[in-house]
Structure 1
Amino acid sequence: MASGFGHKLVIAISSRALFNMDDSHQVFMNEGLEAYAQYQIDHEDELLEPGDAFAVVQKLLKLNDNQPGEPPRVEVILLSRNSADTGLRVFNSIEHYKLNITRAAFCGGQSPYRYASAFGCHLFLSTEAADVRDALEHGIAAATLVAPKTQKPNDNELRFAFDGDAVLFSDEAEQIFKRQGLTAFTESEKAAAKTPLPGGPFKPFLDALHKLQAEFGDAERCPIRTALVTARSAPAHERVIRTLRAWKIRIDESLFLGGLPKGEFLKAYGADVFFDDQEAHIESASEHVASGHVPHGVANSAEFATKPSKK
């Protein structure tokens, strides 16, 4: 991870996740890069509408308010396939919405994921699935954003929700479930209940969130809240609890749903964004909350990608 950012939480965001660029993207798909570039230049004085991640970015940056004289707690960095020339419209929109985003990488049509590590990012949010996969393969927490079908009422609290296996934890238990079934999975987890699970791609991000929460002191005053929302149930819950205890990471809420659809529970929790490795769960969640698909682990392998988990 790059130096120079101290203990800040560093989030990378793609331009298409931050702003609605559907019109210009359609020009690119239909007419190519040159026509796209000219379209952006011709419309660079027209403001872009907020995109799927806009509300989350606003809340993240708001964490830097009311701390005069102190270094910012959160840094948001723009990683874009645009060139600097075509990206002028993006920065004009950032300025209009008063988003304190000052660092960016414009990659001229190439994937920007490689700069996420150089900037020391804890998380990369994009609408480009290929960029997300590249970031995950290089050890960076990343997700493809799916917009919610209904909008969450705005408030000042930022609520993250995470699936367990293949997101916060490794997919070793998921592999047993997929290949040997629920009974073998349950017996394996009971036998390994006191053995912490290895970390998954989002463990470093959760750890960074936990440290940021600690800076606010009293949990009741902290504007960040976290939840584990997993299809696990008893007795497979014990290993999860002991794993988080071994990591010395506090999760504010834990929901063990035993295979129930997650959408209504995420709505009740009030998640701003939910991260899960399985598209079937993302489909349920995105009825109510912004969701990030994490294309990692056995469920996203060619063998199992089309088979939804019942665990």
Structure 2
Amino acid sequence: MPVTLEGKLVIAISSRALFDLDDSNKIFEEKGEDEYTAYQIEHENEVLGQGVAFPLIKRLLELRNPETNEDMVEIVLVSKNDPNTGLRVLNSIESYQLNITRAAFSRGRTPYKYLKAFNADLFLSANPDDVKLALENGYASATIYTGTPYREDENFDEIRIAFDGDAVIFSDESEKIYQEKGLEEFKRFEKENREIPMAPGPFKAFLTALNNLQNVYKNADKKPIRTALVTARNAPAHARAIKTLREWGIGVDEAFFLGGLDKAPILESFNPHIFFDDQHTYCITASKVVPTGHVPIGVKNSRK
């Protein structure tokens, strides 16, 4: 029987999201593929620095089933390098002793079409075009912002993940009302439809997978994963968000309804390993305090 990844949380990640490849990428953009290839081969035994998503991936790889001690998470490297230049990335993975054994190298072509083959629940990349293609084809995906690395917190040994609501966990139908007709019409719409669940957004399936993973540890003394909803919604629009999650049979551990306030102070306190938001303005401020992934989909990201 072939090996299967069924039952595991599967995350596909690009080499630039996992490691600091800014200098290498600059050589590629300014001098071309031949110079980039030569540089990577010359430095292939030099360990790459940690990227913004590295702490999240390292923590996820440490998760074990409390009953069977089996790995609960599979990380797949999906890279636009070719195998030759990708050797430096693989050597760095080995040096950091990360349990990443599967990889796909596509030499300049977008790797999103291989996400289905790996049954990926999430795709993290530094390339917004690849992320956009993945989102358009139904995969929870985010562009990792270069910014503040994860701030280690000695008081917590859990993995914390935070989500925006509209256009991320939920669809952007309500956001469209707000953008087209204003705040008062948005409030009226949400109040009238508070008993009607919202359509799912691109990260609903990923949040469900996290909930399933959390359920494995429901009898454990320590819960290794904690989630939060951090949304610009406030009363009365908060009710529909809560009732939608209830209808779906999934949930979050914490929720913050900020009514348009800057999300950065709350995020700095919650200190997630990653925060996902569809709005560029929120991502910019958030990335100054916590690792942040932009979800380029929905009305706020449509081209005018």
TM-score tier (shorter): over 0.9
Q: Deviations over 1:21-68 (max 9, x none)?
A: 11111110111111111111111111111111111110110113x758
- Give, in angstroms, the shift of residue 148 of structure 1: 3.7
Alignment match, 2:96: 97
CA distance in 1 between counterparts of 2:15 and 2:149 reads: 22
| 2:44/2:88 contact within 8 Å kept | yes
| 1:10/1:76 contact within 8 Å kept | yes
Alignment match, 1:28: 28
Alignment match, 1:276: 277
Change (3 A) 1:148 1:105: same
Say yes or no: does 1:235 pair with 2:236: yes
1:289 alignment partner, SS class: coil
Change (3 A) 1:189 1:34: same
Unaligned runs of 5+ in 1: 304-311
Change (3 A) 1:219 1:298: farther
2:84 alignment partner, SS class: coil
Alignment match, 1:108: 107
CA distance in 2 between counterparts of 1:196 and 1:171 reads: 13
Alignment match, 1:309: none
- Give, in angstroms, the shift of residue 225 of structure 1: 0.3
| 2:52/2:148 contact within 8 Å kept | no
Alignment match, 1:12: 12
Say yes or no: does 1:190 pair with 2:173: no
1:105 alignment partner, SS class: strand
CA distance in 1 between counterparts of 2:68 and 2:294 reads: 37
- Give, in angstroms, the shift of residue 96 of structure 1: 0.4
Say yes or no: does 1:247 pair with 2:248: yes
Unaligned runs of 5+ in 2: none
CA distance in 2 between counterparts of 1:185 and 1:79 reads: 40
| 1:59/1:156 contact within 8 Å kept | no
| 1:147/1:289 contact within 8 Å kept | no
- Number of aligned residue pairs: 300
2:228 alignment partner, SS class: strand
| Letter in structure 2 aligned against 1:239 | R
CA distance in 2 between counterparts of 1:200 and 1:131 reads: 18
| 2:66/2:217 contact within 8 Å kept | no
Change (3 A) 1:112 1:170: same
- TM-score, scaled to structure 1: 0.93
- Give, in angstroms, the shift of residue 156 of structure 1: 2.1
1:85 alignment partner, SS class: helix
Moved more, 31-40 or 164-173: 31-40
| 1:171/1:297 contact within 8 Å kept | yes
- Give, in angstroms, the shift of residue 150 of structure 1: 6.1
CA distance in 1 between counterparts of 2:70 and 2:167 reads: 34
1:108 alignment partner, SS class: coil
Alignment match, 2:50: 50
2:83 alignment partner, SS class: coil
| 2:150/2:273 contact within 8 Å kept | no
| Letter in structure 2 aligned against 1:79 | V
- Give, in angstroms, the shift of residue 131 of structure 1: 0.5
1:139 alignment partner, SS class: coil
Alignment match, 1:175: 176
Alignment match, 1:260: 261
1:149-160 → structure 2 map (5 Å cutoff): 149=148, 151-154=150-153, 155-160=156-161
Alignment match, 1:142: 141
1:208-227 → structure 2 map (5 Å cutoff): 208-218=209-219, 221-227=222-228
CA distance in 2 between counterparts of 1:160 and 1:26 reads: 30
Say yes or no: does 1:121 pair with 2:120: yes
Two-structure CA RMSD over aligned residues (Å): 1.5
Alignment match, 2:37: 37
Change (3 A) 1:70 1:85: same
CA distance in 2 between counterparts of 1:246 and 1:220 reads: 28
| Letter in structure 1 aligned against 2:34 | E
CA distance in 2 between counterparts of 1:150 and 1:96 reads: 20
- Give, in angstroms, the shift of residue 7 of structure 1: 1.0
CA distance in 2 between counterparts of 1:31 and 1:173 reads: 45
CA distance in 2 between counterparts of 1:161 and 1:70 reads: 27
| 1:143/1:275 contact within 8 Å kept | yes
Alignment match, 2:132: 133
| Letter in structure 1 aligned against 2:22 | D
